[in-house]
């Protein structure tokens, strides 16, 4: 292996320049906001021009300085990156500590077969980013990691390549290692539906050796966009943009334009309905465009001991996830997708798998962006056969304990409403009575979230090494599978009045950085807590203390049994 220091590709200067321009714009806009009202002052304008000139000079010089002072090398144990001018920094990651490899290839890098490579190790902040390296470096790292972990079959598969356009270069780089060459063995015939070779596919996507286990069609991506409740977050972004625009535009001009738009949109009931439809259509359209840019050409490949996730339209992204680094497999359903019998699947990892410039909530760990409930387990069995994923028989721990979930939301909301009513009576202002609506809305929202947790929380001990748990986060249902070795500790807690009735809280923290970080039960019987605790501590499988089991976690079937806690406890 060539252990000499390597310099980043010159195209990295362009990447750094783009980042500098973004930073410069954030600095120049406030300066311009000062300049507009003081444009008649020669002194102020001279200072502003000088400041903008310094910013522009730094914007042009810093990318070159960063490129000249950054390098990397790979030796027999790991990869090292050095950077900095006055403060020199060296970061080394051992091959066997690498969790994921995420590369992104912006459109201006593709002609040079260069990528931005993110290397993540354990922990949320452990890793490095190489902005502008040959695509073959990812292949070198994959082969070295597999060799270091003793997986010679996966190392041989990695050495063949995933970037079709740079396969020959990558093969040559890996061949420099005698150990890698010795481990090359004939691969088994691909399964049905698999695609082998390193040529570009008909769509221009990189062809990958291995088995293609999932491919998202354009219709799947559009369905994801339409059912993605995150599209409403765009309203917050628009509001923030308008708020910043207010600081740059003269206040009277902004207020006049705002009043004109509001008067026009609210002039009649038809206009109000039309405005709502237009806003919703714009949000859905923006969500569809954004989803197509993120997920176009989405494919998941199984290659030896790795999953390879390919996605992206303008910027192609490739993420390699080591199977043995997977902490959890989480099946998630928003209420809208639950009603449509759809779900998504995310792999929980000990380190984030987001590539350079990628939204942290849409990473390569999202192996199934959207899929039907009737297909999800079949696809997961092909994707992760060693996990043995099947629909679990969930024991519902929240049945009969709904009061323990709702007491806190109702008590806090009642206290807030009492304060609002007292304030309205003291101030004698009719407008202040509107503040009583806020606690009421909080009670409805918080109560709905907690009721959903009560209806969905449960567990299924699959064997002495695996467990499945269900629950809800805000208004999203989830089913998460994990192994006993991934559980960090067992935390049982209760209050004296709860403990007298045999009710506890249970929390099992997990080493996960990009998803559900704990198996948590807000309220469950002490017998159930003891069952799960015993399993987590030594793998013991005990009776759950109840015969009430269900094949799924459908909230429509998960309601309070109508009895008090004592009656419910005796019934079990």
pLDDT tens digits, residue range 413-443? 889 888 888 888 888 777 677 777 888 888 8
Mean pLDDT of the chain: 78
Of the listed ranges 15-24, 367-376, 547-556, the least confidently predicted one is 547-556
Displacement of CA 283 from its chain's centroid (Å): 21
**How far apart, in whole angstroms, are the C-alpha atoms of residue 438 and residue 353?**
39
Reported as a single tens digit per residue, the pLDDT across 355-399 is 555 555 556 789 999 999 999 999 999 999 999 999 999 999 999
Predicted local confidence at residue 171, as pLDDT: 37
The yes-or-no verdict on residue 255 having pLDDT over 90 is no
The yes-or-no verdict on residue 351 having pLDDT over 60 is yes
Task: Give the C-alpha distances (Å, rounded to integers) separating 310 from 212, 305, 324, 327, 400.
Answer: 11, 17, 20, 21, 45
Of the listed ranges 50-64, 221-235, 487-501, 529-543, the least confidently predicted one is 221-235
Predicted local confidence at residue 179, as pLDDT: 34
The yes-or-no verdict on residue 344 having pLDDT over 50 is yes
The yes-or-no verdict on residue 17 having pLDDT over 90 is no
Predicted local confidence at residue 250, as pLDDT: 65
- Please report which confidence band the pLDDT of residue 108 belongs to, taking 50, 70 and 90 as the band edges: confident
- Please report which confidence band the pLDDT of residue 259 belongs to, taking 50, 70 and 90 as the band edges: confident
Q: Is the pLDDT higher at 523 or at 150?
A: 523
Residue ranges of alpha helices (H) inside 526-571 are: 526-538, 565-571
Burial 27-66 (b: 16+ CB within 10 A, else e): ebeeeeeebeeeeeeeeeeeebeeebeebeeebeebbeeb
- Please report which confidence band the pLDDT of residue 254 belongs to, taking 50, 70 and 90 as the band edges: low
Predicted local confidence at residue 367, as pLDDT: 92
Of the listed ranges 154-158, 295-299, 424-428, 508-512, the least confidently predicted one is 154-158
Q: Is the pLDDT higher at 14 or at 483?
A: 483
């Amino acid at each position: 292996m060539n252990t000499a220091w390597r310099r980043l590709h010159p195209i990295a200067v362009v990447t750094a320049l783009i980042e500098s321009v973004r930073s410069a714009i954030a600095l120049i806009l406030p300066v311009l906001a000062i300049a507009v009202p003081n444009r008649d002052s020669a002194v102020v304008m001279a200072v502003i021009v000088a400041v903008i000139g310094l910013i522009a000079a730094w914007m042009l010089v810093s990318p070159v300085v960063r490129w000249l002072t950054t390098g990397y090398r790979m030796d027999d144990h790991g990869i090292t990156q050095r950077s900095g001018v006055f403060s020199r920094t060296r970061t080394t990651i051992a091959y066997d500590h690498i969790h994921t490899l995420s590369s992104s290839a912006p459109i201006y890098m593709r002609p040079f077969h260069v990528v931005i490579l993110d290397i993540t190790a354990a922990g949320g902040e452990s890793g490095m980013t190489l902005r502008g390296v040959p695509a073959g470096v990812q292949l070198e790292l994959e082969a070295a990691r597999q060799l270091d972990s003793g997986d010679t079959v996966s190392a041989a598969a990695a050495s063949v390549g995933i970037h079709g356009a740079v396969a020959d270069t990558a093969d040559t780089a890996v061949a420099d290692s005698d150990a890698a060459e010795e481990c090359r063995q004939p691969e088994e015939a691909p399964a049905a539906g698999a695609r082998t070779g390193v040529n570009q596919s008909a769509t221009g996507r990189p062809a990958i050796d291995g088995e293609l286990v999932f491919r998202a069609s354009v219709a799947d991506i559009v369905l994801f966009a339409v059912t993605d409740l995150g599209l409403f977050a765009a309203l917050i972004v628009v509001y923030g943009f308008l708020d910043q625009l207010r600081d740059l535009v003269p206040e009277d001009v902004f207020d006049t334009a705002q009043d004109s738009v509001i008067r026009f949109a609210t002039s009649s009931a038809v206009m109000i309905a039309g405005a709502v439809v237009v806003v919703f259509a714009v949000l859905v359209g923006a969500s569809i465009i954004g989803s197509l840019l993120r997920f176009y050409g989405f494919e998941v490949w199984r290659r030896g001991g790795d999953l390879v996730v390919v996605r992206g339209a303008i910027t192609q992204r490739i993420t390699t996830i080591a199977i043995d680094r997977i902490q959890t497999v989480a099946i998630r359903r928003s209420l809208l997708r639950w009603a449509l019998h759809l779900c998504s699947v995310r792999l929980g990892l000990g380190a984030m798998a987001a590539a350079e410039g990628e939204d942290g909530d849409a990473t390569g760990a999202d192996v199934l962006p959207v899929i039907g409930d009737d297909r999800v387990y079949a696809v997961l069995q092909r994707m992760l056969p060693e996990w043995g994923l099947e629909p679990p028989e969930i024991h519902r721990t929240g049945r009969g304990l709904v009061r323990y979930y709702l007491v806190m939301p109702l008590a806090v909301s009642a206290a807030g409403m009492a304060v609002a009513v007292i304030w309205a009576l003291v101030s004698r202002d009719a407008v202040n009575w509107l503040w009583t609506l806020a606690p009421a809305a909080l009670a409805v929202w918080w109560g709905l979230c907690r009721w959903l947790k009560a209806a969905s929380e449960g567990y299924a001990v699959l064997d002495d090494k695996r467990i499945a748990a269900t629950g809800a986060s805000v208004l999203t249902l989830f089913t998460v599978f994990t192994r006993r070795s991934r559980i960090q500790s067992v935390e049982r807690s209760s209050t004296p009045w709860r403990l007298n009735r045999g009710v506890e809280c249970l929390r099992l923290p997990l080493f996960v950085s990009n998803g559900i970080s704990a198996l948590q039960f807000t309220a469950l019987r002490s017998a159930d807590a003891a069952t799960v605790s015993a399993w987590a501590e030594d793998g013991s499988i005990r009776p759950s203390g109840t015969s009430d089991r269900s094949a799924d976690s459908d909230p429509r079937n998960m309601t309070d049994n109508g009895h008090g806690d004592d009656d419910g406890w005796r019934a079990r």
